[in-house]
Amino acid sequence: MLSGKLFHIICSFISQKHLTQRLTLSFVGVCSLLTYIKYYAGDYDTAVFHLGFVASGFTIAVYGSPLATVVRVHYMFILKLFSD
């Protein structure tokens, strides 16, 4: 019941088509990464190294996204400050 309410809240903010595209893209990305790790990585140590590298990159991207917004707002403030 809770997951249905959560899905309804998410769908009220994001259109259904947009949500479906994001979920599909996320699913394909995770499955392709796991397929590479399971079948194409040479040995266990290489697989762990590559998975850690991807996870580190993803973490940096997730934490960096709000900072990009802060920089944009700060830049707009500086432009407004000097335009007067």
Residues 32 and 53 both lie in one domain: no
pTM score, whole prediction = 0.55
Total residues belonging to the chain? 84
- pLDDT tens, residue by residue, 2-27: 566 766 666 666 677 777 888 899 89
Exposure class string for 39-54: b at 16+ Cβ within 10 A, else e: eeeeeeeebeebeeee
Rounded to whole angstroms, the Cα distance separating 42 from 15 reads: 41
Q: What's the whole-number mean pLDDT along residues 51-71?
A: 81
Residues 51 and 34 in one domain: no
- Segments forming the whole domain that contains residue 75: 43-84
One domain, residues 80 and 48: yes
